[in-house]
Structure formats: structure tokens, C-alpha cells
């Protein structure tokens, strides 16, 4: 029997009802079930205090830890992050996308995934499932910072919205202090962020993980006009070093996997005309994530590397 909901819609929500965004729209009389509206204008009923949460989005693992979420399983990419290993329990289950048997074995009471996810309907047969776009939210107080908006969205889903907003506000103060630590080095400097791929390099725009939040948002490295023009014309994506020639940058940050670092610094330095000491190699697995824990640790590591 469908539980009767005591609606908590406010006038402001009514006025913004045409704007799809995460928000709570109701709660059961006993307080055990919440109803939320998603960015897809879909209302979902989910536990008010979920006990076994399964996360298929990499960014959610660290943010759930900050929000004291009760995790049963996380995306397997978190296994490759040295930062994530420090806070995830040893008995956490790492989920491969599409491994429905492993997911069922967890017996989750809430599943959070990205969109689109071709297994959505199969997830829904296991537990209430929330899909999240990689975009900001009209109701987020951190609209200009995508990674903080995702912390806020997770807070809404986990019934920890106030905690998420407080964490975001505290981070803005902490990030200002970190920025000042590197201010003498970073001031007026530009940067490019890449990942080494088998057949070239991947060029990143702002707020796309792999250290971009630490580089561009926290430390305030600039983007040269030549790089801005490249991103505007072609967008982020695969490049060769030859294709990147002519783009100016004072620093180049390159995400490399294990055993990939040999020769990368020299190749990038020679091709792009950047001093070898200004080509900074980053651990691909640890810099792939952009939860708040990872962004803070990435920022501190980069500060130490560029001193």
C-alpha cells in the first residue's frame, strides 16, 4: 500500500516547479520514507535514513564519507585511488558496472548512479534508484562550482542537505587559505591538464576531474588565450602532442597510470616548449576522482610539487 505523504512543498518550490532539480517534496507520516524530485522531473520514494547505499558514480564515494553515509558498495574506480583507500573500509565492496549479481548480494536499500545508465530498470528491481546528471543544480548554493554542487545533490539524496551545505561553505574558506599558500608561484601563471592515453593525450576543460578542480578552481591557474580558443573550437578530448603545439601554457599537469611516466615529462616539455620542471606528473587513479576529499588532497599535493 502506498504510504500517505505529508507534502512539504513551499511557495518557492511551486514557483520553480518547472525547473528540474533535486529537492525534497514530501515525507511519510512516520518519517521513514522521503519523496524527492530529481532533475528529470521524476519523484522517487527512498529511505529517510538509508543503511546500505550502493554508489556507481566515482565522485560520490568521498562525498558520502564526508556526509557519514552508510556505504555498502562503491564504483570500482575508487579502488585505484590512494586517497580513497585511506577512508574506505577494508570490507567495502567495489562494484563493476553491470555486475548485477554483486549488487544484489549487497542487498542495498538505495542505489545512486549516473545517467544514462542502461541498467537502470534492473537496479530499480533491487532498490530505489536515483540517477544524477553530471551537471549543476538550480537549487544548489554552489552553482559555479560543479564538484560542490554534486556534494550538495548527494546531501539532498541522503537527507543530509544542511551538512552538505556546511561542508561546502567550510571548503570555500579552506580553499582560499590553500590558494594563498601557492599564490606567489601561481599568480599570473597558466596551466593545461592532460591525461596520457595509449594513442595520445586527453585534454581537459575546467571541472572535469583529473585535477582540474584543484588546478583551475582552488589554485586559480589561468587558461591561456590559445588554450581557451582550442577548447572553444574543438572542446575537450583526444589530442596528439603535435596537435597541441602552438598552445601556450606555463605549466602542464599530466595524469599518468602506473609505469606510464617514463619519457612523458621530456616528450611534453619538448613538444610544448614548457620547462621540464613545469611538467607535473599526477597519479591517474588518485586524480581521477573529484569528491571534496580528493580535491583537497590533490591541491595540497600540487602545492608541494610546484614549490
Mean pLDDT rounded to a whole number for the chain: 91
Q: What is the pLDDT of residues 54-102, one digit of tens each?
A: 999 999 999 999 999 999 999 999 999 999 989 998 889 999 998 999 9
287: CB partners within 8 A, 6+ apart: 209, 210, 211, 255, 294, 298
Phi, psi of 222 (to 5 degrees): -90, 175
Nearest-CA neighbor of 108 among 84, 92, 88? 92
95 forms beta bridges with 75
How large is the average pLDDT for residues 269-277? 96
Q: What is the pLDDT of residue 1?
A: 37
Q: What is the pLDDT of residue 259?
A: 78
Q: What is the pLDDT of residue 134?
A: 80
How large is the average pLDDT for residues 246-266? 92
pLDDT exceeds cutoff 80 at 17: no
How large is the average pLDDT for residues 211-230? 98
pLDDT exceeds cutoff 50 at 298: yes
Locate CATH 3.40.50.1980 in the chain. Answer: 46-169, 185-306
pTM of this structure: 0.91
The Cα–Cα gap between 278 and 306 comes to: 8
pLDDT exceeds cutoff 60 at 273: yes
Q: What is the pLDDT of residue 161?
A: 95
The Cα–Cα gap between 154 and 157 comes to: 5
Contact present, 302 and 275 (Cβ < 8 Å): no
For residue 260, what pLDDT band results from cuts at 50, 70 and 90? confident
How large is the average pLDDT for residues 99-128? 96
The Cα–Cα gap between 150 and 143 comes to: 10
Q: What is the pLDDT of residues 184-209, one digit of tens each?
A: 999 999 999 999 998 999 999 999 99
CATH of 46-169, one of 3.40.50.1980, 3.40.50.880, 3.30.420.140, 3.30.1330.100: 3.40.50.1980
Question: Quick one: 185-306 is in which CATH superfamily?
Answer: Nitrogenase molybdenum iron protein domain (3.40.50.1980)
The Cα–Cα gap between 133 and 59 comes to: 12
Q: What is the pLDDT of residue 15?
A: 38
User: How many Cα atoms sit within 13 Å of 213 on the Cβ side?
Assistant: 28
Amino acid at each position: 500500500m502506498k504510504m500517505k505523504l505529508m507534502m512539504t512543498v513551499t511557495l518557492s518550490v511551486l514557483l520553480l516547479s518547472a525547473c528540474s532539480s533535486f529537492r525534497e517534496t514530501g515525507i511519510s507520516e512516520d518519517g521513514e520514507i522521503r519523496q524527492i524530485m530529481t532533475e528529470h522531473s521524476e519523484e522517487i520514494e527512498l529511505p529517510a535514513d538509508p543503511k546500505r547505499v550502493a554508489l556507481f558514480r566515482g565522485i560520490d564515494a568521498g562525498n558520502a564519507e564526508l556526509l557519514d553515509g552508510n556505504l555498502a558498495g562503491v564504483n570500482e574506480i575508487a579502488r585505484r585511488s590512494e586517497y580513497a583507500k585511506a577512508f574506505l573500509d577494508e570490507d567495502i565492496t567495489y562494484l563493476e558496472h553491470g555486475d548485477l549479481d554483486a549488487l544484489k548480494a549487497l542487498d542495498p536499500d538505495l542505489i545512486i548512479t549516473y545517467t544514462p545508465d542502461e541498467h537502470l530498470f534492473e537496479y530499480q528491481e533491487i532498490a530505489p534508484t536515483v540517477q544524477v546528471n553530471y551537471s549543476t543544480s538550480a537549487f544548489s548554493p554552489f552553482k559555479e562550482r560543479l564538484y560542490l554542487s554534486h556534494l550538495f545533490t548527494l546531501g539532498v539524496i541522503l537527507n543530509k542537505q544542511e551538512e552538505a551545505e556546511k561542508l561546502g561553505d567550510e571548503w570555500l574558506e579552506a580553499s582560499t587559505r590553500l590558494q594563498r599558500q601557492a599564490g606567489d608561484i601561481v599568480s599570473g601563471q597558466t596551466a593545461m591538464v592532460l591525461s596520457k592515453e595509449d594513442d595520445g593525450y586527453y585534454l581537459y576543460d575546467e571541472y572535469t576531474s583529473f585535477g582540474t578542480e584543484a588546478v583551475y578552481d582552488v589554485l586559480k591557474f589561468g587558461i591561456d588565450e590559445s588554450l581557451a580558443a582550442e577548447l572553444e573550437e574543438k572542446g575537450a578530448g583526444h589530442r596528439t602532442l603535435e596537435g597541441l603545439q602552438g598552445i601556450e601554457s606555463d605549466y602542464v599537469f599530466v595524469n599518468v597510470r602506473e609505469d606510464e611516466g617514463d619519457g612523458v615529462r621530456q616528450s611534453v616539455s619538448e613538444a610544448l616548449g614548457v620547462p621540464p620542471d613545469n611538467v607535473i606528473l599526477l597519479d591517474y587513479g588518485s586524480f581521477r576522482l573529484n569528491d571534496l576529499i580528493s580535491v583537497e588532497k590533490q591541491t595540497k599535493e600540487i602545492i608541494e610539487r610546484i614549490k
